[in-house]
Amino acid sequence: MSGIRKRILIVGGGAVGPKVASRARRLDPEADIKIVESGKYVSYGACGMPYYVSGDIKNADELVVRTPEYFKKLLDVDVLLETTATSVDRTARTVLCRDATGREFTLPYDALVLAAGAQPAVPPLEGRDLSGVFKLKDIPDMLAISDYVKKEEPRKAAIIGAGLIGLEMAEAFRAKGMGVTVVEMLNWPLPAMLDEEMASLVSRQLDEQGVRLVLSQMAKRFDGTQGGRVKRLVTDSEAIDCDLALVSIGVRPETSLAVQAGLEIGLTRAIAVNERLQTSDPAIYAGGDCVECRHLITGRPVFAPLGSTANKHGRVIGTNVAGGSDTFAGVCGTAIAKVFDVAVGRTGLTEVEARQSGFDVVWSIVSQTDAANYYPGAKRITLKLLADAKSGRVLGAQCVGRGEVAKRIDVVAAAISGRMDVKALADLDLAYAPPFSPAMDAVHHAANVVRNKMDGTARTVSPQELKKKMEGRSDVIVLDVRTDGEWKLSRIDHPSVMHVPIGKLAETDVGFCEGKEVVTQCLSSVRAYAAQKILEKKGCKDVKFLDGSLSAWPYGLKE
């Protein structure tokens, strides 16, 4: 190809395509680079769309990162908007395209990049074409919702799906003054992201914010007014009045062009790629929300569409199509969302996923402030840490709270990439000063509780396990060891719960523990752990403490 401009053709102008174009241009000043995008916008901040609907972002233009003019002037890249790539001829190395006028033409390529992203999954619900029923995939969807909110002034929103987008939009609709009901098919919110007890903290937040969360229900149909506007979402159990509805049950990789071209599709139904992000045809690359990635822990392919991954893919593909060589390591399932006043993050595997992947899991749940507890404005976070029970290898973390959640998730994400164990995590030299963290951060603390559990020093019960024990058995004693004052303010309301302040425990006759399983609890588990040790010294055989104690207890307290 010496002397001939390499032709790089990119299908999709979301996050990956523009990044591929920029990177390739920097490495190859001569290449002929084109982006074909079926929509009206290129390079926009799709993840910011809920914040436009909420009114936090005032101007839709702020979400449009780059214009076609920018690409032409600064990078000499052609962007063809409202142009759909309809088929690939892999032998001729051409792509058939159709523009907004219906005109068809072919574009040749030396390297083709598939980056058409994902599509919202929309179940074939009756009434889904009614006015007021939306999905949120792109800027036109966003503008349509926003216009509808302005013009129709809806009062009641129903959202199908308590995933990331569903909950972000619940907040946006609340900000617009609507009543909001979220319907989730599974048993807890953010089911793909969190274990049950951590999700319960999210449920509590939704409740506090006036969002009605309906779990374990399946949406069946929408009913409309005579004017053709949505008036009701009907599930398998109830009918929910609404004058706006959003379907956000997840996304499916856009693979139609890859399927047409005969490229390999992976087990997750996304496009299969190698480490260089090449498809089964080495001249065709794919990246972003339309491909599957390797999970760094399990080694298995996962479909984990995220803007951050898309940007990384763009750089790797840009390097490779320009004749360089780069690879993408994989993902560890990191995700985060702001849900009203709390941040909700996770990385690695959940407990459910880890068990499904065959790991014997040991975990801890700790709840403490994000800054030194005496520092004004310090806020609470609850962190669940998971490790492999044999090796102590860090498998994942979930974190929920009003405080600084993202930092703890990112530290654990880095630890997972570094294949660290809980000892290495506990040793991390993290930045400490009172405004930024306690001397022992939640990450250190959680890692040490896991170590204590691994060596048998500490034995714990998770909130979820304790709830089950209390529901099912009479031979469990929950021993609250807080002060009289704390006990009076609030406590777990159940016949199993007893109160002995830890200061009096040494001199108390603990005969009532005999033959029982005892679970100690305080506010944050520091005293509960000490109480476990005191009871053991007094001869109690079966003592555990409650993970995270009342700070992490998601099932409500009697006040």
The residue from 12, 318, 345, 548 that contacts a second copy (CB under 8 A) is 345
Residues 6+ apart with CB under 8 A from 280: 263, 264, 272
- For residues 323 and 289, the answer to whether their CB atoms sit within 8 Å is no
- For residues 222 and 127, the answer to whether their CB atoms sit within 8 Å is yes
Is residue 299 near a second copy by the rule CB under 8 A? no
Residues 6+ apart with CB under 8 A from 533: none
Q: C-beta of 424: minimal distance to a second copy in Å? A: 6
| Residue placing its CB nearer to a second copy in the complex, 232 or 445 | 445
- Which is nearest to 404 in space by CA: 439, 384, 377, 374? 377
The residue from 53, 113, 115, 164 that contacts a second copy (CB under 8 A) is 164
Q: C-beta of 200: minimal distance to a second copy in Å? A: 21
The residue from 137, 393, 407, 491 that contacts a second copy (CB under 8 A) is 407
- For residues 343 and 193, the answer to whether their CB atoms sit within 8 Å is no
Is residue 413 near a second copy by the rule CB under 8 A? yes
- Which is nearest to 425 in space by CA: 460, 458, 383? 383
Binding span for a second copy by CB under 8 A among 88-96, 143-151, 236-244, 434-442 = 434-442
Q: Token pair of 93, please? A: 């190395």
Residue 428 CB neighbour total at 10 angstroms: 15
Residues 320-339 that bind a second copy (CB under 8 A): 328-338
Q: C-beta of 216: minimal distance to a second copy in Å? A: 27
Is residue 503 near a second copy by the rule CB under 8 A? yes
Is residue 487 near a second copy by the rule CB under 8 A? no
Q: C-beta of 158: minimal distance to a second copy in Å? A: 24
Residues 6+ apart with CB under 8 A from 127: 133, 221, 222, 223, 224, 230
Is residue 411 near a second copy by the rule CB under 8 A? yes
Is residue 419 near a second copy by the rule CB under 8 A? yes
Residue whose entry in the numeric block shows the structure tokens 């509805």: 245
Beta bridge partners of 393: 421
Q: What binding mask, one character per residue, do residues 436-475 give for a second copy by CB under 8 A, x or -?
A: xx-xxx--x---x--------x------------------
Q: Token pair of 111, please? A: 């390297």
Q: How far apart are CA 416 and CA 354, in angstroms?
A: 13
| Residue placing its CB nearer to a second copy in the complex, 406 or 489 | 406
Q: C-beta of 90: minimal distance to a second copy in Å? A: 30
Q: C-beta of 101: minimal distance to a second copy in Å? A: 29
The alpha carbon of residue 532 and the mean position of all alpha carbons in its chain are separated, in whole angstroms, by 35
Residues 6+ apart with CB under 8 A from 199: 188, 189, 190, 191, 193
The residue from 5, 26, 269, 488 that contacts a second copy (CB under 8 A) is 26
| Residue placing its CB nearer to a second copy in the complex, 106 or 457 | 457
Is residue 92 near a second copy by the rule CB under 8 A? no
The residue from 82, 428, 487, 499 that contacts a second copy (CB under 8 A) is 428
Q: C-beta of 100: minimal distance to a second copy in Å? A: 26
Q: C-beta of 319: minimal distance to a second copy in Å? A: 9
Residues 64-83 that bind a second copy (CB under 8 A): 73-76
Binding span for a second copy by CB under 8 A among 120-128, 150-158, 239-247, 303-311 = 303-311
Is residue 480 near a second copy by the rule CB under 8 A? no
Strand stretches in 72-218, DSSP E = 77-80, 84-89, 94-98, 104-108, 111-114, 118-120, 133-134, 156-160, 179-183, 211-214
Q: Count CA within 13 A, CB hemisphere, residue 311.
A: 8
Q: What binding mask, one character per residue, do residues 237-276 give for a second copy by CB under 8 A, x or -?
A: ----------------------------------------
| Residue placing its CB nearer to a second copy in the complex, 68 or 345 | 345
Q: How far apart are CA 288 and CA 25, in angstroms?
A: 19
Identity of the amino acid at 48: G
Q: Token pair of 247, please? A: 């379907």
| Residue placing its CB nearer to a second copy in the complex, 59 or 101 | 59
Residues 179-218 that bind a second copy (CB under 8 A): none
The residue from 223, 410, 465, 542 that contacts a second copy (CB under 8 A) is 410
What are the backbone angles phi and psi of residue 528, rounded to the nearest 5°? -65, -40
Is residue 63 near a second copy by the rule CB under 8 A? yes
Q: At what angle do helices 164-175 and 196-208 cross, to 10 degrees?
A: 10
N- to C-terminal Cα separation, the chain? 76
Binding span for a second copy by CB under 8 A among 121-129, 145-153, 429-437, 485-493 = 429-437
- For residues 60 and 143, the answer to whether their CB atoms sit within 8 Å is yes
Is residue 476 near a second copy by the rule CB under 8 A? no
- Mind spelling out the 3-state secondary structure of 292-336? CEEECCCCCEECCCCHHHHHHHHHHHHHHHCCCCCCCCCECCCEE
Q: C-beta of 367: minimal distance to a second copy in Å? A: 17
Is residue 506 near a second copy by the rule CB under 8 A? yes
11: enclosing H helix or E strand: strand 7-11
Q: Token pair of 33, please? A: 């680079």
Size of residue set near a second copy by CB under 8 A: 89
| Residue placing its CB nearer to a second copy in the complex, 222 or 529 | 529
Q: Rg of the chain's alpha carbons, rounded to an integer?
A: 27
Pick the catalytic residue: 47, 242, 332, 513? 47
Annotated active-site residue 522? The verdict is no
Residues 357-396 that bind a second copy (CB under 8 A): 372, 374-376
Residues 27-56 that bind a second copy (CB under 8 A): 27, 29, 45, 47-48, 51, 56
Residues 278-297 that bind a second copy (CB under 8 A): 296
The residue from 37, 138, 404, 517 that contacts a second copy (CB under 8 A) is 404
Is residue 435 near a second copy by the rule CB under 8 A? yes
Active site residues: 47
